[in-house]
Amino acid sequence: MARPITLFTGQWADLPLEVMAEKAASFGYDGLELACWGDHFEADKALEDDSYVQSRWDILDKHGLKCFAISTHLVGQCVADKIIDERHKGIIPGRLWGDGDPEGVRQRCAEEVKNTARAAADFGVSVVNGFTGSPIWHVLAGFPPVPPEMIDAGYREFADRWNPILDVFDEVGVKFALEVHPSEIAYDFWTTHETLKAVNHREAFGINFDPSHLYWQMVDPVEFVYEFADRIYHMHVKESVHMLNGRNGILSSHLGFGDHRRGWDFVSPGRGGVPFEKVFRALNRVNYEGPLSVEWEDNNMNRDQGAPEALQLVRKLDLTPSDVLFDAAFASDK
Protein backbone atom coordinates (compact mmCIF):
# COMPACT_ATOMS: atom_id res chain seq x y z
CA MET A 1 0.00 0.00 0.00
CA ALA A 2 3.11 2.20 0.07
CA ARG A 3 2.22 3.86 3.35
CA PRO A 4 4.86 6.33 4.57
CA ILE A 5 7.23 4.91 7.16
CA THR A 6 8.24 7.35 9.85
CA LEU A 7 10.42 7.19 12.96
CA PHE A 8 9.08 8.39 16.30
CA THR A 9 11.64 10.67 17.92
CA GLY A 10 10.62 10.05 21.54
CA GLN A 11 13.49 7.66 22.20
CA TRP A 12 15.93 9.99 20.45
CA ALA A 13 15.06 13.19 22.30
CA ASP A 14 18.60 13.46 23.67
CA LEU A 15 19.64 14.48 20.16
CA PRO A 16 18.89 17.85 18.58
CA LEU A 17 16.27 17.64 15.84
CA GLU A 18 18.86 18.54 13.20
CA VAL A 19 20.96 15.50 14.16
CA MET A 20 17.90 13.25 14.46
CA ALA A 21 16.61 14.28 11.03
CA GLU A 22 19.98 13.63 9.42
CA LYS A 23 20.07 10.15 10.98
CA ALA A 24 16.53 9.23 9.95
CA ALA A 25 17.17 10.35 6.39
CA SER A 26 20.40 8.34 6.23
CA PHE A 27 18.50 5.27 7.45
CA GLY A 28 15.96 5.76 4.65
CA TYR A 29 12.84 6.84 6.57
CA ASP A 30 10.15 8.87 4.85
CA GLY A 31 9.55 11.16 7.81
CA LEU A 32 9.49 11.75 11.54
CA GLU A 33 6.78 11.67 14.19
CA LEU A 34 7.95 14.51 16.40
CA ALA A 35 7.94 14.14 20.17
CA CYS A 36 6.89 17.18 22.19
CA TRP A 37 9.96 16.92 24.39
CA GLY A 38 13.64 17.51 23.89
CA ASP A 39 13.93 20.21 21.26
CA HIS A 40 11.97 18.31 18.61
CA PHE A 41 8.63 20.12 18.93
CA GLU A 42 7.76 22.54 21.74
CA ALA A 43 4.15 23.64 21.68
CA ASP A 44 4.72 26.79 23.74
CA LYS A 45 7.40 28.02 21.35
CA ALA A 46 5.25 27.15 18.33
CA LEU A 47 2.45 29.39 19.62
CA GLU A 48 4.74 32.23 20.69
CA ASP A 49 6.80 32.52 17.52
CA ASP A 50 5.71 31.76 13.96
CA SER A 51 9.33 31.34 12.94
CA TYR A 52 9.66 28.35 15.28
CA VAL A 53 7.13 26.33 13.29
CA GLN A 54 8.94 27.22 10.09
CA SER A 55 12.25 26.21 11.67
CA ARG A 56 10.92 22.68 12.25
CA TRP A 57 9.83 22.39 8.62
CA ASP A 58 13.12 23.82 7.42
CA ILE A 59 14.97 20.99 9.14
CA LEU A 60 12.60 18.34 7.85
CA ASP A 61 12.62 19.72 4.31
CA LYS A 62 16.41 19.91 4.30
CA HIS A 63 16.54 16.15 4.79
CA GLY A 64 13.57 15.27 2.57
CA LEU A 65 11.39 14.21 5.50
CA LYS A 66 7.65 14.51 6.10
CA CYS A 67 5.65 14.74 9.32
CA PHE A 68 2.11 13.48 9.88
CA ALA A 69 1.79 13.63 13.68
CA ILE A 70 3.29 15.09 16.82
CA SER A 71 3.12 13.36 20.19
CA THR A 72 2.49 14.59 23.72
CA HIS A 73 2.65 11.41 25.77
CA LEU A 74 4.43 12.85 28.81
CA VAL A 75 2.22 15.87 29.40
CA GLY A 76 -0.95 13.93 28.57
CA GLN A 77 -0.12 11.38 31.26
CA CYS A 78 -0.49 14.05 33.92
CA VAL A 79 -3.99 15.17 32.90
CA ALA A 80 -6.00 12.38 34.52
CA ASP A 81 -3.67 10.34 36.73
CA LYS A 82 -5.11 9.77 40.19
CA ILE A 83 -1.66 9.90 41.79
CA ILE A 84 0.72 12.72 40.86
CA ASP A 85 4.20 12.32 42.34
CA GLU A 86 7.93 12.47 41.62
CA ARG A 87 7.48 10.22 38.57
CA HIS A 88 5.52 12.98 36.88
CA LYS A 89 7.93 15.67 38.01
CA GLY A 90 10.63 13.81 36.10
CA ILE A 91 8.81 13.86 32.76
CA ILE A 92 7.32 17.36 32.42
CA PRO A 93 8.84 20.86 32.29
CA GLY A 94 9.20 22.79 35.52
CA ARG A 95 6.71 25.38 34.31
CA LEU A 96 4.02 22.65 34.28
CA TRP A 97 5.09 21.02 37.54
CA GLY A 98 5.05 24.35 39.40
CA ASP A 99 4.74 23.76 43.13
CA GLY A 100 3.75 20.14 42.57
CA ASP A 101 0.20 20.50 43.87
CA PRO A 102 -1.49 17.55 42.07
CA GLU A 103 -4.58 19.35 40.84
CA GLY A 104 -2.50 22.30 39.71
CA VAL A 105 -0.30 19.93 37.71
CA ARG A 106 -3.35 18.32 36.10
CA GLN A 107 -4.86 21.67 35.14
CA ARG A 108 -1.64 23.09 33.71
CA CYS A 109 -1.04 19.93 31.71
CA ALA A 110 -4.60 19.99 30.39
CA GLU A 111 -4.00 23.51 29.11
CA GLU A 112 -0.72 22.37 27.55
CA VAL A 113 -2.47 19.58 25.64
CA LYS A 114 -5.00 22.12 24.36
CA ASN A 115 -2.13 24.30 23.22
CA THR A 116 -0.51 21.30 21.58
CA ALA A 117 -3.63 20.87 19.46
CA ARG A 118 -3.40 24.53 18.44
CA ALA A 119 0.31 24.18 17.68
CA ALA A 120 -0.32 21.04 15.63
CA ALA A 121 -2.86 22.94 13.54
CA ASP A 122 -0.34 25.75 13.00
CA PHE A 123 2.28 23.15 12.08
CA GLY A 124 -0.08 21.58 9.55
CA VAL A 125 -0.55 18.11 11.04
CA SER A 126 -3.93 16.65 11.91
CA VAL A 127 -3.08 14.09 14.60
CA VAL A 128 -1.64 14.44 18.09
CA ASN A 129 -0.70 11.15 19.71
CA GLY A 130 -0.40 10.73 23.43
CA PHE A 131 -1.41 9.36 26.78
CA THR A 132 -4.33 10.41 28.97
CA GLY A 133 -3.44 9.15 32.42
CA SER A 134 -6.03 7.25 34.42
CA PRO A 135 -8.05 7.84 37.60
CA ILE A 136 -8.47 4.06 38.08
CA TRP A 137 -5.26 2.33 36.99
CA HIS A 138 -4.14 2.11 40.64
CA VAL A 139 -7.06 -0.25 41.42
CA LEU A 140 -6.16 -2.76 38.69
CA ALA A 141 -5.40 -5.61 41.10
CA GLY A 142 -8.95 -5.50 42.49
CA PHE A 143 -7.92 -5.62 46.13
CA PRO A 144 -8.96 -4.17 48.47
CA PRO A 145 -12.29 -4.90 46.77
CA VAL A 146 -13.22 -2.24 44.23
CA PRO A 147 -16.90 -1.21 44.09
CA PRO A 148 -18.15 -1.02 40.48
CA GLU A 149 -19.27 2.53 41.21
CA MET A 150 -15.62 3.46 41.73
CA ILE A 151 -14.73 2.26 38.24
CA ASP A 152 -17.71 4.09 36.72
CA ALA A 153 -16.67 7.26 38.52
CA GLY A 154 -13.17 6.90 37.11
CA TYR A 155 -14.41 6.82 33.54
CA ARG A 156 -16.60 9.86 34.26
CA GLU A 157 -13.65 11.74 35.73
CA PHE A 158 -11.57 10.91 32.66
CA ALA A 159 -14.34 12.23 30.41
CA ASP A 160 -14.79 15.37 32.52
CA ARG A 161 -11.10 16.14 32.27
CA TRP A 162 -10.67 15.30 28.58
CA ASN A 163 -13.88 16.56 26.97
CA PRO A 164 -12.88 20.24 27.35
CA ILE A 165 -9.52 19.37 25.79
CA LEU A 166 -11.24 17.58 22.91
CA ASP A 167 -13.43 20.65 22.37
CA VAL A 168 -10.25 22.52 21.41
CA PHE A 169 -9.19 19.67 19.13
CA ASP A 170 -12.55 19.99 17.38
CA GLU A 171 -12.17 23.75 17.10
CA VAL A 172 -8.81 23.52 15.34
CA GLY A 173 -9.56 20.43 13.23
CA VAL A 174 -7.03 18.10 14.88
CA LYS A 175 -7.63 14.62 16.36
CA PHE A 176 -6.20 13.11 19.52
CA ALA A 177 -4.98 9.51 19.28
CA LEU A 178 -4.58 7.68 22.58
CA GLU A 179 -1.85 5.07 22.62
CA VAL A 180 -3.70 2.17 24.27
CA HIS A 181 -1.22 1.21 26.96
CA PRO A 182 -1.10 -0.07 30.54
CA SER A 183 -1.38 2.86 32.98
CA GLU A 184 -3.83 4.66 30.64
CA ILE A 185 -7.62 4.82 30.88
CA ALA A 186 -7.71 2.41 27.89
CA TYR A 187 -5.10 -0.32 28.09
CA ASP A 188 -6.71 -3.37 26.41
CA PHE A 189 -9.66 -4.45 24.27
CA TRP A 190 -12.52 -3.95 26.74
CA THR A 191 -11.21 -0.81 28.41
CA THR A 192 -10.91 0.75 24.95
CA HIS A 193 -14.63 0.12 24.44
CA GLU A 194 -15.42 1.72 27.81
CA THR A 195 -13.19 4.70 27.13
CA LEU A 196 -14.77 5.46 23.76
CA LYS A 197 -18.19 5.16 25.36
CA ALA A 198 -17.15 7.54 28.15
CA VAL A 199 -16.53 10.33 25.61
CA ASN A 200 -19.64 9.40 23.62
CA HIS A 201 -17.53 8.14 20.71
CA ARG A 202 -16.72 11.68 19.69
CA GLU A 203 -14.68 11.88 16.52
CA ALA A 204 -11.91 13.97 18.04
CA PHE A 205 -10.81 11.01 20.17
CA GLY A 206 -9.26 7.94 18.59
CA ILE A 207 -6.39 5.48 18.84
CA ASN A 208 -2.68 5.41 18.19
CA PHE A 209 -2.53 1.66 17.53
CA ASP A 210 0.54 0.03 19.09
CA PRO A 211 0.47 -3.77 18.89
CA SER A 212 3.34 -4.25 21.34
CA HIS A 213 1.22 -3.20 24.33
CA LEU A 214 -1.53 -5.60 23.34
CA TYR A 215 0.76 -8.52 22.59
CA TRP A 216 2.47 -8.49 25.98
CA GLN A 217 -0.97 -8.62 27.62
CA MET A 218 -1.85 -11.58 25.33
CA VAL A 219 -4.48 -9.58 23.47
CA ASP A 220 -4.59 -10.26 19.72
CA PRO A 221 -3.62 -7.03 17.92
CA VAL A 222 -5.24 -8.23 14.70
CA GLU A 223 -8.64 -8.56 16.36
CA PHE A 224 -8.09 -5.11 17.84
CA VAL A 225 -7.59 -3.67 14.34
CA TYR A 226 -10.85 -5.15 13.07
CA GLU A 227 -12.83 -4.04 16.13
CA PHE A 228 -11.62 -0.44 16.25
CA ALA A 229 -10.89 0.15 12.57
CA ASP A 230 -12.65 3.50 12.34
CA ARG A 231 -10.78 4.84 15.38
CA ILE A 232 -7.22 4.05 14.34
CA TYR A 233 -5.82 7.46 13.52
CA HIS A 234 -2.14 6.52 13.69
CA MET A 235 0.02 3.40 14.11
CA HIS A 236 3.21 2.61 16.01
CA VAL A 237 5.43 -0.22 14.84
CA LYS A 238 6.76 -1.40 18.19
CA GLU A 239 7.70 -4.88 19.32
CA SER A 240 7.49 -6.89 22.53
CA VAL A 241 8.48 -10.40 23.56
CA HIS A 242 7.30 -12.86 26.22
CA MET A 243 9.94 -14.39 28.49
CA LEU A 244 7.73 -16.59 30.66
CA ASN A 245 9.96 -19.35 31.96
CA GLY A 246 8.12 -20.34 35.13
CA ARG A 247 9.91 -17.71 37.19
CA ASN A 248 9.27 -14.50 35.27
CA GLY A 249 5.87 -12.86 35.73
CA ILE A 250 3.84 -10.81 33.31
CA LEU A 251 3.69 -7.93 35.83
CA SER A 252 7.48 -7.44 35.52
CA SER A 253 8.35 -7.71 39.23
CA HIS A 254 9.43 -4.04 39.49
CA LEU A 255 12.41 -4.86 37.28
CA GLY A 256 13.69 -2.43 34.69
CA PHE A 257 13.48 -2.89 30.94
CA GLY A 258 16.29 -5.06 29.65
CA ASP A 259 16.43 -7.24 32.77
CA HIS A 260 16.32 -10.95 31.85
CA ARG A 261 14.09 -11.67 34.86
CA ARG A 262 11.15 -9.78 33.39
CA GLY A 263 8.27 -11.78 31.94
CA TRP A 264 8.09 -9.51 28.90
CA ASP A 265 10.13 -6.73 27.37
CA PHE A 266 10.34 -4.39 24.40
CA VAL A 267 12.66 -5.48 21.59
CA SER A 268 13.50 -4.24 18.13
CA PRO A 269 10.72 -4.90 15.58
CA GLY A 270 11.01 -8.39 14.14
CA ARG A 271 12.75 -9.78 17.21
CA GLY A 272 9.67 -10.49 19.32
CA GLY A 273 6.25 -12.02 18.92
CA VAL A 274 4.03 -9.37 17.31
CA PRO A 275 2.60 -10.86 14.07
CA PHE A 276 3.41 -7.82 11.97
CA GLU A 277 2.50 -9.28 8.58
CA LYS A 278 -0.95 -10.22 9.89
CA VAL A 279 -1.26 -6.76 11.45
CA PHE A 280 -0.37 -5.02 8.18
CA ARG A 281 -2.77 -7.22 6.23
CA ALA A 282 -5.53 -6.30 8.69
CA LEU A 283 -4.70 -2.60 8.33
CA ASN A 284 -4.98 -3.05 4.55
CA ARG A 285 -8.41 -4.63 4.91
CA VAL A 286 -9.73 -1.77 7.05
CA ASN A 287 -8.21 0.79 4.63
CA TYR A 288 -5.80 2.39 7.06
CA GLU A 289 -3.72 4.76 4.93
CA GLY A 290 -1.80 6.64 7.62
CA PRO A 291 1.89 6.35 8.43
CA LEU A 292 3.59 3.33 9.95
CA SER A 293 5.68 4.97 12.64
CA VAL A 294 8.53 2.95 14.10
CA GLU A 295 8.79 3.46 17.86
CA TRP A 296 12.12 1.81 18.52
CA GLU A 297 12.80 0.46 22.03
CA ASP A 298 15.31 -2.25 22.94
CA ASN A 299 17.65 -1.85 25.92
CA ASN A 300 19.88 -4.66 24.70
CA MET A 301 20.45 -3.36 21.18
CA ASN A 302 22.10 -0.27 19.75
CA ARG A 303 19.46 2.04 18.31
CA ASP A 304 21.60 2.96 15.30
CA GLN A 305 21.55 -0.71 14.40
CA GLY A 306 17.92 -1.29 15.33
CA ALA A 307 16.21 1.63 13.58
CA PRO A 308 17.41 0.83 10.04
CA GLU A 309 16.72 -2.87 10.62
CA ALA A 310 13.16 -2.02 11.70
CA LEU A 311 12.67 0.04 8.56
CA GLN A 312 13.67 -2.89 6.36
CA LEU A 313 11.26 -5.17 8.23
CA VAL A 314 8.36 -2.81 7.60
CA ARG A 315 9.22 -2.40 3.93
CA LYS A 316 9.30 -6.19 3.56
CA LEU A 317 6.06 -6.94 5.39
CA ASP A 318 3.85 -3.97 4.47
CA LEU A 319 2.18 -5.62 1.50
CA THR A 320 0.48 -3.71 -1.30
CA PRO A 321 -2.94 -5.33 -1.87
CA SER A 322 -3.60 -6.83 -5.26
CA ASP A 323 -6.04 -4.95 -7.48
CA VAL A 324 -7.22 -8.20 -9.05
CA LEU A 325 -8.30 -11.52 -7.55
CA PHE A 326 -5.71 -14.22 -8.21
CA ASP A 327 -8.40 -16.60 -9.47
CA ALA A 328 -10.00 -14.07 -11.83
CA ALA A 329 -7.90 -15.46 -14.68
CA PHE A 330 -9.80 -18.74 -14.42
CA ALA A 331 -12.93 -16.99 -15.64
CA SER A 332 -11.25 -15.18 -18.49
CA ASP A 333 -12.75 -15.56 -21.96
CA LYS A 334 -9.23 -15.70 -23.29
C-alpha dist (Å) from residue 232 to 51, 54, 101, 154, 177: 32, 29, 35, 24, 8
Which CATH architecture group holds 5-331? Alpha-Beta Barrel (3.20)
* pLDDT over 70 (residue 322): no
DSSP-assigned beta bridge partners for residue 178: 130, 207
Looking at residue 327, its pLDDT comes to 64
High-pLDDT (> 90) share of the chain, %: 94
Cis peptide before 164 (omega within 30 of 0): no
* pLDDT over 60 (residue 191): yes
The answer to whether the CB of 166 falls within 8 A of the CB of 195 is: no
Question: In this predicted model, what pLDDT tens digit does every residue of 94-139 receive, in sequence order?
Answer: 999 999 999 999 999 999 999 999 999 999 999 999 999 999 999 9
Q: What proportions of the chain, in percent to the nearest 5, are helix, strand and coil?
A: 45, 15, 40
C-alpha dist (Å) from residue 199 to 118, 131, 182, 205: 21, 15, 19, 8
* pLDDT over 60 (residue 206): yes
* pLDDT over 70 (residue 251): yes
* C-alpha span between 80 and 103 (Å, rounded): 10
* pLDDT over 60 (residue 331): yes
The answer to pTM > 0.85 is: yes
Question: In this predicted model, what pLDDT tens digit does every residue of 8-17 receive, in sequence order?
Answer: 999 999 999 9
Segment 76-93 shows an average pLDDT of 98
Segment 237-261 shows an average pLDDT of 96
Looking at residue 240, its pLDDT comes to 98
Looking at residue 319, its pLDDT comes to 75
Q: What is the average pLDDT value for the chain, to the nearest integer?
A: 95
Looking at residue 109, its pLDDT comes to 98
* pLDDT over 70 (residue 333): no
Looking at residue 27, its pLDDT comes to 98
What single DSSP character describes residue 256?
Answer: P
Q: How confident is the model at residue 325 (pLDDT cuts 50, 70, 90)?
A: low
* pLDDT over 60 (residue 49): yes
Q: What stretches of 28-92 show up as alpha helix (H) in DSSP?
A: 43-48, 50-62, 73-80, 86-89
* pLDDT over 70 (residue 268): yes
* C-alpha span between 108 and 111 (Å, rounded): 5
Angle, CA 143 vertex, CA 139 and CA 144 arms, to 5°: 100
The answer to whether the CB of 252 falls within 8 A of the CB of 262 is: yes
Q: How confident is the model at residue 330 (pLDDT cuts 50, 70, 90)?
A: low
Cα first-last separation, the chain: 30
Question: In this predicted model, what pLDDT tens digit does every residue of 17-47 receive, in sequence order?
Answer: 999 999 999 999 999 999 999 999 999 999 9
Looking at residue 324, its pLDDT comes to 60
